[in-house]
Amino acid sequence: MLSAAACSSSASESGGSGTTVSTEPPTAYPTSEWSTADPTAVGIDPARVDELATYLGESSNCMAVVKDGQLIGEGYWKNVTAATEQEIFSATKSITSTLVGIAQAEGKLDINEPASTYVTEWQGTPSADVTIRDLLANVSGRYWDFTTDYREMIAAPDKTGFAIGLTQQAPPGTVWEYNNSAIQTLEAVIERATGEDVGDFARTRLFEPIGMSTTIGRDGVGNTLTFMGAKASCRDLARFGYLLLLQGQWEAQQIVPAEYLAEATTPATDLNAAYGYLIWLNRPGTIKLPGSDAREGQLWPDAPDDAFAALGLGGQVVFVVPSEGIVVTREASPGGGVQQQGNVANEIARILSG
């Protein structure tokens, strides 16, 4: 059932379940707890939040709705609680993007340099000129076919080694392909550039500073996964989405450079207006989805143009609308319902906008 916080007559009082209800202006940043507010207090019709919970509750495990930094609604189903963490699949890719941005800000790498600076196995091969930016934008031209990417790489104990060992299929920048294996090579880029384990880098630079308890899984030989593998709660994903909405600022700390996130949420290639740096976008133009031909249009017609999202298999969603100060997260069990990530994001926008 939906849990929407009611507006309190006092400045702050206990709201139960680890939250604080406040009538002060929206909390800039959640601390260990989220401030909550009645949707009406932040300009959202409560009926819309209820409708969203009804829609998502059909096949979801949880949802969280944040407006201007306050939690205005959440829902939990199938014995899931606010503390439950689950696999978010390819929504992990957007986390990987922020790690690259952080590493660049620390002077450890430059996304415009060849990935072969760090993936030395590619030096002297047709992949030598593939840039880190090409990997982030899914235009690397690295080898892809369905069986290789969704079966062989998934089954490989050493996923990073398997991905690095694939060949170059097309010149970089000429083909957009949703390439899990190419994205897994970013594990080697980040680790070799920073000299740190990628999971530890994520924990100390991203998760802990914004209060996430999220962890990222590893392959059979201990490599941190970068194309999938993060486990998070809906509330922790809301923290991540809110960080992106705030252009990487968290209290007094710039966690991710605003300049990097501006690039990451802008189309990275004319081949796909719906994709930035491992983040899905709502810009109109030529759009291409995995396994589909390119077409003209917009990914979420009912959402503002500036909306963007981290999306994962089975309808894992971190949906962000900067112009409206809204973050909505949703987690589900793959195969547990008919809703998929694309239409879920559009329905979120449709329902909340009325």
User: Which pLDDT tens digit goes with each residue over 263-298?
Assistant: 999 999 999 999 999 999 999 999 999 988 999 999
Which pLDDT score is estimated for 345? 86
21, 135, 138, 276 from 178: Cα distances, Å? 42, 10, 6, 12
Shared domain check, 192 and 139: yes
**Domains identified in the chain, total number:** 2
Shared domain check, 122 and 269: yes
Shared domain check, 334 and 240: no
Under the banding of pLDDT at 50, 70 and 90, the label for residue 354 is: low
**b (16+ CB within 10 A) / e for 49-60:** bbbbbebbbebb
Q: What is the pLDDT of residues 293-319, one digit of tens each?
A: 999 999 999 999 999 999 999 889 999
Domain of 290, CATH number, reads: 3.40.710.10
Shared domain check, 342 and 240: no
Residues 6+ apart with CB under 8 A from 294: 176, 271, 272, 286, 287, 288
Shared domain check, 266 and 174: yes
**97 lies in a domain?**
yes
Distance CA 90, CA 103 (A): 21
**315 lies in a domain?**
no
Question: Is the CB of residue 59 less than 8 Å from the CB of residue 336?
Answer: yes
Distance CA 99, CA 198 (A): 9
Shared domain check, 144 and 13: no
**305 lies in a domain?**
no
Which pLDDT score is estimated for 33? 87
Q: What is the pLDDT of residues 206-238, one digit of tens each?
A: 999 999 999 999 999 999 999 999 999 999 999
Distance CA 71, CA 36 (A): 5
Tokens of 22: 């406040």
- Average pLDDT of 123-141? 98
The residues pairing with 309 across neighbouring beta strands, listed in sequence order, are: 280, 319
**67 lies in a domain?**
yes
Distance CA 297, CA 287 (A): 7
Range of 107's domain? 86-299
**2 lies in a domain?**
yes
